[in-house]
């Protein structure tokens, strides 16, 4: 059974600081997704990581994938208040990225 674990579950940080969210998964997969969810809203796709060693960056967020370690990270650089949201990683049960299994989410709060 595929399990996806994120940590930390809750993160409170000051503006300007750096931090990393970790996503571990239990079975082999070559495809990992990161999503952002604002309170009461739907999920917004941030990154799709397709292969071992993949790294993608968008603004202050950078995601990476290590398929051998079954680990993905989402690094936040110089956090700003607008990044406050819940972040989810998800892994597809097949290598096409279907039938996603989600982590429990990391609720990020960036304080001024």
Interacting positions 29-48 with another protein (CB under 8 A): 31, 33, 35, 41-43, 45, 48
- Is residue 62 close enough to count as binding another protein by CB under 8 A? no
Query: Hey, what are 93's tokens?
Result: 């049960």
Q: Is 87 in the site for another protein (CB under 8 A)?
A: no
Residue 102 sits in the site that holds another protein (CB under 8 A): yes
Distances from the Cα of 33 to the Cαs of 4, 54, 70, 72, in angstroms?
12, 12, 13, 9
Least Cβ distance, residue 78 to another protein (angstroms): 27
Residue 99 interacts with another protein (CB under 8 A)? yes
| Dihedral of alpha carbons 20, 26, 30, 33, sign | negative
């Amino acid at each position: 059974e595929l399990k996806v674990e994120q940590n930390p579950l809750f993160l409170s940080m000051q503006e300007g600081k750096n931090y990393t969210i970790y996503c571990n998964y239990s079975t082999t997969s070559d495809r990992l997704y990161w999503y952002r969810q604002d309170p009461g809203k739907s999920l917004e796709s941030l990154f799709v990581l397709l292969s071992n060693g993949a790294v993608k960056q968008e603004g202050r967020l950078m995601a990476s994938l290590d398929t051998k370690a079954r680990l993905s990270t989402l690094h936040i650089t110089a956090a700003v208040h607008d990044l406050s949201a819940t972040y989810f990683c998800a892994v597809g049960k097949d290598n096409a990225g279907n039938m996603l299994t989600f982590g429990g989410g990391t609720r990020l709060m960036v304080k001024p």
